[in-house]
Amino acid sequence: MFDYIIVGAGSAGCVLANRLSENPETSVLLLEAGSNDDAPEIHMPAAFTSLFHSANDWDYMTEEEPHLNHRKLHWPRGKVLGGTSSINAMIYMRGNRANYDHWQALGNKGWGYVDVLPYFKKSEHQERGASEYHGVGGPLNVMDRRYTNPLSFTFVDAGVELGWSHNDDFNGASQEGFGLVQVTQHQGKRHSAAAGYLHPVLNRPNLTLKTGVLVTRILFDGARAVGVAYLKDGFEHQDMVNNEVLLTAGAINSPHLLLLSGVGPANQMHKLGIPVIADLPGVGRNLQDHLDISVACSSKQPITFYTIQTEENLQEFLHHQRGPFTSNISEAGAFVKTRPELALPDIEFHWGPILFIHNGAIQVERHAYTFVPTLVTPQSRGHLELRSSDPTVYPAIYANYLSHEDDLQALVESVKMSRKLSQTKAFAPFFEDELYPGPQIQSDQEIIEYIRNYAQTMFHPVGTCKMGHDELAVVDSQLRVHGTEGLRVVDASIMPTIPNGNTNAPVIMIAEKAADLIKNDYKTNRGNLVMSPQ
């Protein structure tokens, strides 16, 4: 019997395991379907794409996307200690302060920017030092990269040449402009949530970690969560809980587990013979993601990452943790508006000195660099649903990309922006040819067709267990699942709307805040129990 059972040792799960086990009188069980994070590719920043389709990837695919010419898109999600923070591009980005003020305006008290900023700072060890916007001494190391390709500086210069501002801190006073990104690394290696939060505390006697376990359902006594069932080595096991079950399995696995356990749309569960615990229509709905499109150019100068894999570069990394292998590839970025009247930037540029088409699946034998404008304020909404009551069968994912016309038009404008950047004086010494979409693609309709054929995900699914009080809300502002007791969701799925930036830092913030909510509830409930009349 444990005080808390945490399902999923991803970014949020590692945070909760650390914070809840700080009290030696609190027993915590952390369950992870994947393995330990000992694959060397995890710790070599530039190798992150080699983790896609590996044993460390859940390797999800969407259903055929009707607005992307019926393509199925690959959704890599971390199946390993640290979750997706162990396989991502390590960009430290919080989103815009208005994103969180909007959450609060939707009725989620305590989630405005002034409320969440302290948790961003608490989580962070900012190597630049403490400031109004940044903290030091936190578990997650945030740093400037040890290596920067010369073309990344060129990208920033090109943006400034076209009239945008230079921004050396996208997480500071202003989000807009062009600049180099900071990364979650330490001494040139990946600093995942597992590295920052979990490994330093695994020796705590009150923290138990089990890997290679697939949680199959939450156990209920009435509407109260009392434990979990899971598969380990082909056999079912159960562990029971005193206080709470905490779902930190991510925007796909958390709603999937709720549905398997009888929490979700009643009609969906009735069809599969799953007893209904709580009829919550919003479980699996409200799915949002960041879609991007690549504009790739060949380089006249041989300075891209096309030739990164040399013995010299490898030895520099292995012996000194320096050189190109410490790069997160997407070294520079920008936040811009496709229309001046927009309140927030709707495009985040990811940029890298490498060809990046179809998540790196397409290769050309030449030096190239890629502009990757990403739609960070999508209006399109998707959903996921059960295919089967068998927990080993993946849910069906309907991302529904580009179902809203505004999303398509923003990406069309972003392709035009990319082309303008490629033709600046800054890029003149390097630009040779446009490889994708290619000079033959010129009209808006031709660009639209290119987008439908080549758009890809930036790997940021959120929203499938949204926080709120409307008919699609799954959790309240304390992250407690409506209609149940002893059950919370703490991960990207609780986001009512997607932040307009990379989502890993926001997930860590959510978990830091949730840890305090859980601790405060425990103190309150214990106090009420002690003071109640006999």
Nearest to 330 by CA among 14, 49, 24, 75: 49
Note whether 464 and 285 are within 8 A (CB). yes
| pLDDT value for 528 | 45
| pLDDT value for 529 | 39
Tell me: the pLDDT tens digits for 499-533? 999 999 999 999 999 999 999 987 776 644 333 32
Rounded mean pLDDT, 47-74: 96
Q: Provide the token pair at 485.
A: 């007791």
pTM to 2 decimals? 0.96
What is the CB-side half-sphere exposure of residue 169 using CA atoms within 13 A?
A: 14
Torsion of CA 143, 495, 484, 9, to 10 degrees: -30
| pLDDT value for 526 | 60
Residues 464 and 397: their CA atoms lie apart, in Å, by 11
Q: Does 278 have pLDDT greater than 80? A: yes
Rounded mean pLDDT, 327-350: 97
Q: Does 358 have pLDDT greater than 80? A: no
Q: Which of 186, 290, 367, 460 is catalytic?
A: 460
Angle between the N-to-C axes of helices 504-531 and 11-20, in degrees from 0 to 180, rounded to the nearest 10: 30
Instruction: List Cα–Cα distances, 323 to 228, 299, 341, in angstroms.
Output: 45, 21, 42
Angle between the N-to-C axes of helices 113-123 and 97-105, in degrees from 0 to 180, rounded to the nearest 10: 130
Phi, psi of 94 (to 5 degrees): -100, -20
Contacts for 180 with CB less than 8 Å, ≥ 6 apart:
144, 145, 148, 152, 153, 156, 168, 331, 332, 333
Residues 462 and 511: their CA atoms lie apart, in Å, by 15
Tell me, yes or no, if 319 is annotated catalytic.
Answer: no
Nearest to 33 by CA among 192, 254, 200, 241: 254
Q: Does 389 have pLDDT greater than 50? A: yes
Q: Does 469 have pLDDT greater than 70? A: yes
| Residue type, position 49, single letter | T
Rounded mean pLDDT, 139-146: 98
Residues 265 and 17: their CA atoms lie apart, in Å, by 30
| pLDDT value for 531 | 32
Note whether 85 and 184 are within 8 A (CB). yes
CATH number attached to the domain at 2-529: 3.50.50.60
Confidence of residue 361 (pLDDT cuts 50, 70, 90): low
| pLDDT value for 248 | 98
Torsion of CA 327, 505, 337, 376, to 10 degrees: 100
